[in-house]
Chain A
Amino acid sequence: MQRIGVFVCWCGSNIASTVDVERVSEALKNEQGVVFSTNYQYMCSQAGQDLIKSAVKEHRLTGIVVCSCSPRMHEATFRKAARSAGINPYMVEIANIREQCSWVHKDIITGTEKAIILGKAAIAKVNLNAPLIPGESPVTKRALVIGGGIAGIQTALDIAEAGFLVDIVEKKPTIGGKMAQLDKTFPTLDCSACILTPKMVDVAQHEKIRIFSYSEVSSVKGFVGNFDVTIKKKARFVNENICTGCGACVEKCPQKKIPNEFNLGMDNRSAIYIPFAQAVPKVATIDPNACNMLKNGKCGLCARVCTAGAIDYTQKDEYIEEKYGAIVVATGFNPISMEKFDEYAYSQSRDVITSLEFERLTNAAGPTGGKLLRPSDNKHPHTIVFVQCVGSRCSVDSEKGKEYCSKICCMYTAKHAMLVRDKYPDTEVYVFYIDVRTPGKAFDEFYRRAVEEYGVHYIKGMVGKVVPEGEKLKVQASDLIENKQLHIDADLVVLAAAIEPDKSARGLATMLTASMDTNDFFTEAHPKLRPVESPTAGVFLSGTCQGPKDIPETVSQAGAAASKVIALLNKDKLLGNPCVAHSNEEICNGCSQCERVCPYGAISYINKEFKMPDRSIKTRRIAVVNPAICQGCGACTVTCPSGAMDLKGFTSKQIMAEVDAICR
């Protein structure tokens, strides 16, 4: 039999003006188990908490009901007060009579009636509450960062600087991501490589950081503080520890006609290659689909010229198993395919390019050595048309493109237009826009400079189609301000393609049981208050894998994710949430239904021996819940056909008692 105390809060006038608090505390006095009932102006204040503590002593309370605001607000406060009064914190229940009564009802009679009913329900539940003790688990003091773009790089550096071990898994042969491909960066126009490559070197030299390049995560098991991860290190046919990155092999390799991914296929590389001069790690990689030796055993030139003896044609994929306390996803983005937008003739003319290709064309380390030349004939373009929002801001029913604004393209298009006009004053540059979106420090000023100082023609309207004709690209567009249709003979058309999350992200999310939105961006635990944590404990988000971002925003988020990881790794033990599911092994028949609905992968099955009444032994398959992974969502308890699953702190009996109390 419980001895329950009821505490009704006024919340100043927030509750008291629409709920007759006096009547509520009076009415609840006679409920089963209640030995004390009172009301007070501010229950959450120090005085209010002291009131609870002294009542516990005086009336030897075993359970507490607080009728107040939402449990999201102050459940933790009252649980703490209970603990310091010597009661198990899970013996406290909150009846929300603010958000659910006073704030939604105008009439004091209805408000009061409902408050009494909610109070009765909470009391009915406390009568069945049992003390709960959270479990503890240790924390592995090492973090895994998946993706080695600027997001992953910054997160890794920040975690390592705090003294923890970090591994970066990057699927490409080098870290750096998209930022390594950019020329100059808005809004300050500093050279991308000049600010990125020192950070890449810092990563390579940091004693706490290991880089697994040309690698992928192939499985993730476990839970916050204790992830077991398998990393697949793809065979690169070069011994990373010996290769000095001298490039002799690259030079001698006879197979030189392979489209160079780093320059987006605008020039070629050899079968053995180093993506770019500042690659980290700076080691060669053999492309098995292009290498003559690997395809038909004929060649072997690189092995002959490599004085270090680093080439190993027999190298196999390697699987590495490691334990981590925290995982950060930093898998970044890619521009979408232009396939569904062929009105812009991307597939018909090499002189219609995406903005990322434009970055390579103006980059000193790019295919043209930084000279802006049209890909088709290497001629200098005079009339250049930029089209914004290609594939962004499309409605679902248009069945093309993405619904969201890609956020970075207004700014990088202004950058491109400005740089062209600065370097080649003989050009005419047009930018077609729907809106120019420049919220950011010094962003609008930057865009206005493109218009006012550099004479870029910004035209409010869209390009409808591009038709290659002879040497020209016939651009047909609208000018909505002048109410005209324009026909421009362009030499180069640049499409600001929408960006989307890396295609590998979905598979990774499934492995991590981390959730995604309909666009495959990772979702945050809370869009405002927990923006760098995923809803899955121990999994954090960094950079554009969570949503479109520029570099300053990416770096801020990367640091924020690192600080969350550091706070986690700093702990020696993690306290779990005791309100987790458990299966009654006597009733469970191992049907596997619960495993299928659990969004966190907390349920597994074991074969257990049971002694039968006739002393024989029978082996049965039963469900077991890992309390460290279970988030207490309750999906399994309502799914279990035999009623074996129950949620501690929210048992079916407790819920039914609440419902009964409400319907009484």
Chain B
Amino acid sequence: MNKAYPTEELLRISGVNPNKCMKCGKCSATCPAYDEMEYHPHQFVSMVNSGDIEPLMNSESIFKCLSCFACVDRCPRGVEPAKLIEAVRIAVVRKQGNNHLLADDVPNMLDDEIPQQAIVSAFRKYSK
């Protein structure tokens, strides 16, 4: 079980201000991975804002997001949901250990199952 990260920390990492969201749902209307996701982009924005973060961290949804940024492009309020999803992903990866990936380790880890963005996130883990 992943224990929740505080909202403030996720907002700091992502630079997202969820209060700008007007709850129109255009991000989720746009999302090509919608059906794969348990929680949808607009829910990430709303749930992080209300501190309901644990379910997000424990959901596969963070690895189903394609990081395509369609939601970022279409959001009429400039909220950038994908950046928030990325922040939750980083939070999960960080919890898993103190080391981040070295480029040399990657080829050994590759198989068909591993989601690309897990690798990308793991690289970014502590780079600030």
Interface residues of A (CB under 8 A from B): 343, 389, 393-401, 434, 460-465, 476-480, 483, 485
B22 interface residue (CB < 8 Å to A): yes
A394, A434, A485: which contacts B31 (Cβ < 8 A)? Answer: A485
- Known A-B contacts A343-B74, A394-B77, A478-B28; the reply to A485 vs B35 at CB < 8 A is yes
Q: Output the least CB separation between B76 and chain A (Å).
A: 4
B20, B25, B30, B77: which contacts A465 (Cβ < 8 A)? Answer: B30
A401 to B26, CA, bound (A): 15
A398, A434, A478, A485: which contacts B75 (Cβ < 8 A)? Answer: A398
- Known A-B contacts A394-B77, A398-B75, A480-B42; the reply to A464 vs B31 at CB < 8 A is yes
Indicate if the CB atoms of B20 and A395 lie closer than 8 Å.
yes
Q: Output the least CB separation between B77 and chain A (Å).
A: 4
Indicate if the CB atoms of B76 and A478 lie closer than 8 Å.
no
Indicate if the CB atoms of B76 and A394 lie closer than 8 Å.
yes
Q: Which chain A positions have C-beta within 8 A of B22?
A: 393, 434
B29, B34, B70: which contacts A462 (Cβ < 8 A)? Answer: B29
A397, A400, A464: which contacts B29 (Cβ < 8 A)? Answer: A464
Indicate if the CB atoms of A389 and B29 lie closer than 8 Å.
no
Q: Output the least CB separation between B81 and chain A (Å).
A: 12
Q: Which chain A positions have C-beta within 8 A of B68?
A: none
A479 to B30, CA, bound (A): 12
Indicate if the CB atoms of A462 and B24 lie closer than 8 Å.
yes
Indicate if the CB atoms of A476 and B30 lie closer than 8 Å.
yes
A661 to B123, CA, bound (A): 67
Chain A binding site: helix, strand, loop or mixed by DSSP? Answer: mixed
Q: Output the least CB separation between A266 and chain B (Å).
A: 28
Indicate if the CB atoms of A485 and B34 lie closer than 8 Å.
yes
Q: Which chain B positions have C-beta within 8 A of A461?
A: 24-25, 28-29
Contact residues on B (Cβ < 8 Å of other chain), bracket:
20 to 34
Most B CB within 10 A of own CB, among A395, A398, A476, A483:
A398
Q: Which chain B positions have C-beta within 8 A of A462?
A: 24-26, 29
Indicate if the CB atoms of A477 and B29 lie closer than 8 Å.
yes
Can you give 29 contacting A-B residue pairs, CB < 8 Å?
A343-B74, A389-B24, A393-B22, A394-B76, A394-B77, A395-B76, A396-B78, A397-B78, A398-B76, A398-B77, A434-B22, A434-B23, A434-B25, A460-B25, A461-B24, A461-B25, A462-B29, A463-B26, A464-B28, A465-B29, A465-B30, A478-B25, A478-B34, A478-B40, A480-B23, A480-B25, A480-B28, A480-B42, A485-B35
Indicate if the CB atoms of A343 and B25 lie closer than 8 Å.
no
Indicate if the CB atoms of A464 and B75 lie closer than 8 Å.
no
Q: Output the least CB separation between B58 and chain A (Å).
A: 19
Which of B1-47 touch A at CB < 8 Å? 20, 22-31, 34-35, 40, 42
Q: Which chain A positions have C-beta within 8 A of B28?
A: 461, 464, 478, 480, 485
Indicate if the CB atoms of A393 and B29 lie closer than 8 Å.
no
A396 to B76, CA, bound (A): 9
Q: Can you name the residue of chain B whose Cβ is closest to the Cβ of A479?
A: B25
Most A CB within 10 A of own CB, among B24, B30, B34:
B24
Most B CB within 10 A of own CB, among A395, A396, A463, A478:
A478
Q: Which chain B positions have C-beta within 8 A of A400?
A: 76
Q: Can you name the residue of chain A whose Cβ is closest to the Cβ of B73?
A: A343
Interface residues of B (CB under 8 A from A): 20, 22-31, 34-35, 40, 42, 70, 74-78
A480 to B25, CA, bound (A): 7
Indicate if the CB atoms of A483 and B40 lie closer than 8 Å.
yes
Indicate if the CB atoms of A395 and B77 lie closer than 8 Å.
yes
Q: Output the least CB separation between A476 and chain B (Å).
A: 6
A479 to B26, CA, bound (A): 10
Q: Which chain B positions have C-beta within 8 A of A393?
A: 22, 76-77
Q: Which chain A positions have C-beta within 8 A of B77?
A: 393-395, 398
A397 to B83, CA, bound (A): 15
A483 to B23, CA, bound (A): 13
A614 to B91, CA, bound (A): 87
Indicate if the CB atoms of A485 and B29 lie closer than 8 Å.
yes
Indicate if the CB atoms of B29 and A478 lie closer than 8 Å.
yes
Q: Which chain A positions have C-beta within 8 A of B74?
A: 343, 464-465
Q: Which chain B positions have C-beta within 8 A of A396?
A: 78
Q: Which chain B positions have C-beta within 8 A of A398?
A: 75-78
Q: Output the least CB separation between B46 and chain A (Å).
A: 10
A393 to B26, CA, bound (A): 13
B30, B40, B78: which contacts A343 (Cβ < 8 A)? Answer: B30
A478 to B23, CA, bound (A): 11
Indicate if the CB atoms of A478 and B78 lie closer than 8 Å.
no
Q: Which chain B positions have C-beta within 8 A of A395?
A: 20, 76-78
Q: Which chain B positions have C-beta within 8 A of A434?
A: 22-25
Q: Which chain A positions have C-beta within 8 A of B75?
A: 398
Q: Output the least CB separation between B126 and chain A (Å).
A: 28
Q: Can you name the residue of chain A whose Cβ is closest to the Cβ of B76?
A: A394
Q: Can you name the residue of chain B whose Cβ is closest to the Cβ of A461?
A: B25
Q: Which chain B positions have C-beta within 8 A of A464?
A: 26-31, 70, 74
Q: Output the least CB separation between A54 and chain B (Å).
A: 61
A401 to B77, CA, bound (A): 10
Q: Which chain B positions have C-beta within 8 A of A401?
A: 76
Q: Which chain B positions have C-beta within 8 A of A476?
A: 29-30
A331 to B77, CA, bound (A): 29
- Known A-B contacts A398-B78, A401-B76, A485-B28; the reply to A478 vs B42 at CB < 8 A is yes
Q: Output the least CB separation between A145 and chain B (Å).
A: 36
A592 to B8, CA, bound (A): 54
Q: Which chain A positions have C-beta within 8 A of B35?
A: 485
Most A CB within 10 A of own CB, among B28, B34, B76, B77:
B76
Q: Which chain B positions have C-beta within 8 A of A478?
A: 25-26, 28-29, 34, 40, 42
A444 to B20, CA, bound (A): 27
